[in-house]
Structure 1
């Protein structure tokens, strides 16, 4: 539930309510807004809590949080969350663009593409050091060496690094090099990993599972938020359907839906969402028109010879055209790129 404080509530009154919530066996979370403060009481709701908390000095009213995802819900926090990591900002007026190859193949490759992408307007660099692959015989990534290559590219360009972490035991080492920890679609309900990323304190980039509902997606985000990490980015990357004309089906209606239900920023991945390079730019434009706070796009200087996901990867020249087109769409919806 949410305890709404008066606009002129004092620090002592806020502390009193926070302590009272703790004494009731609930977790208090103080959220300071522009005009007033609210205190979330997270835990099992039971009869009599409203009557117990509402008479406290400085309290306007006590409201239940109806959504099962308490911390992620816009009922708890009306103001949009903005996630920042070095050059990357997701959730503000400017649309963040995370771009790069599916896999880190070599230091020369990742540094070269990072320089190009920075010049073309990207604000974050993606690249897999640990690669989850359907076949055990496919390239699995350079792992720690790949992380070091990403760090070199960051040193050269200043771009924030967004890279995937696949297991709880990898969180510490990936967090040492990365600026944002990505949790892939296959790991969206790996609750130990979600908890470990939440405890890392690093911004989290959570991709929707390929067969997950919106509620399951937001409850996965709740695991990260529940560990005290409020820097969570949601990513719609497409879901499995019976269609075969694309690798996945990219449901852009999820963007305004998520923005209505949660305060967390929403990014769209048109590369995985379509699986086909020619479809990436038009779906990127559509994502911005739908209100996306950011894009994640796979870009490679030679997609034909990429070590993974070449079919959905665009070239730097296609990325440059895409950025020019997306800027015009962004301006039309009162955003910038």
Structure 2
């Protein structure tokens, strides 16, 4: 249940925490207390009198719920503000291929307004014979390039054994679609203080992604953003996945976490990426994460969906224009 307390009930909130902690799960946010494991019969008379309202029929993912946390979560990193009225561009190559190349792509990303450099050092591939990433060397190259251009790092962590190592180099952990329900990994990143981008699984429902985010929050880390990157539907012949733009306002209604759109993995083909990106901006996403490459035909991975530098710049110009049109109060971090 969620208890919305009357003003001035800080002492009662503390008493509830002291009385129930260790017995059931208790979370507090401002004047709201979420308790998993008991109903109102588990409260004493004083606690009941201190309550303004008690919500018993609430989502399982209680910490991510608007009912528990009404205001938007805004994630602050060294160079970015993500969520709320902010709009954040994230861009970079699918895979880190070399220091020289990722530096070149960082310059392109920054010129297009990105404050976050994305890139994969560990790559979960459909085929075991495809390029798997440069590992820790790739992380070092990514960090060096980001620091040179005053950008944050977003990179994927694939398993719990790598959390500590990847955490040395990244500002934001990415949990890929294939790992959305890797609960051991979710718990591991939840024990860190590093922000997390959780990508929606290819067959995941809205409740599935919110409950996956709850695993991270339940372990202590609430600096979470959710990425819509397309889902598997009836037809993947013409696009890699189907971008569920309708999920953006639904997730924003149900949850306080920033919602990011990844048009690259949804479209799978460069010719569709820009239009899907602009659809995500128009529907109110908190940011975009896109893949870029100067020579897509020879990219180590996913070249077919990467925007060339001029394509990325044109997309970014339109994205910021649309965002400013629909939300004049938007804050864009100066790149």
Q: What is the TM-score when the length of structure 2 is the normalising length?
A: 0.94
Contact 1:179 1:202 in 2 (8 A): yes
What's the CA shift for 1:336?
4.8
What's the CA shift for 1:47?
6.2
Aligned positions of 1:218-297 closer than 5 A: 218-243=210-235, 244-297=237-290
Deviation string for 1:53-74 (max 9, x for gaps)?
Answer: 7435x43232225211111111
Aligned residues: 329
The change in CA–CA distance for 1:21 and 1:333 in structure 2 (over 3 A counts) is farther
The change in CA–CA distance for 1:13 and 1:45 in structure 2 (over 3 A counts) is closer
Distance 2:278 2:86 in 1: 15
- In structure 2, what is the equivalent of residue 182 of structure 1? 174
Aligned positions of 1:155-166 closer than 5 A: 155-166=147-158
Task: Return the match for 1:60 from 52, 64, 82.
Answer: 52
The change in CA–CA distance for 1:65 and 1:160 in structure 2 (over 3 A counts) is farther
Contact 2:112 2:317 in 1 (8 A): no
Aligned positions of 1:122-161 closer than 5 A: 122-161=114-153
Distance 1:245 1:119 in 2: 31
What's the CA shift for 1:307?
0.6
- In structure 2, what is the equivalent of residue 26 of structure 1? 24
Contact 1:101 1:300 in 2 (8 A): yes
What's the CA shift for 1:149?
0.5
SS in 2 for 1:177: coil
- In structure 2, what is the equivalent of residue 39 of structure 1? 33
C-alpha RMSD over aligned residues: 1.6
Corresponding position: 1:316 with 2:315: no
Distance 2:147 2:283 in 1: 34
Distance 1:61 1:241 in 2: 41
Give the gaps of 5 or more residues in structure 2. none
Distance 1:87 1:262 in 2: 24
- In structure 1, what is the equivalent of residue 11 of structure 2? 12
What's the CA shift for 1:27?
2.3
Deviation string for 1:53-109 (max 9, x for gaps)?
Answer: 7435x4323222521111111111110111122212210312111100000000011
Contact 1:327 1:336 in 2 (8 A): no
Corresponding position: 1:87 with 2:79: yes
Deviation string for 1:228-254 (max 9, x for gaps)?
Answer: 100001000001112121111111000
- In structure 2, what is the equivalent of residue 96 of structure 1? 88
Task: Return the match for 2:206 from 214, 220, 229.
Answer: 214
- In structure 2, what is the equivalent of residue 3 of structure 1? 3
The change in CA–CA distance for 1:53 and 1:280 in structure 2 (over 3 A counts) is farther
What's the CA shift for 1:222?
0.6
Contact 1:285 1:326 in 2 (8 A): yes
Contact 2:175 2:197 in 1 (8 A): yes
Aligned positions of 1:298-309 closer than 5 A: 298-309=291-302
What's the CA shift for 1:14?
3.0
Distance 2:71 2:243 in 1: 27
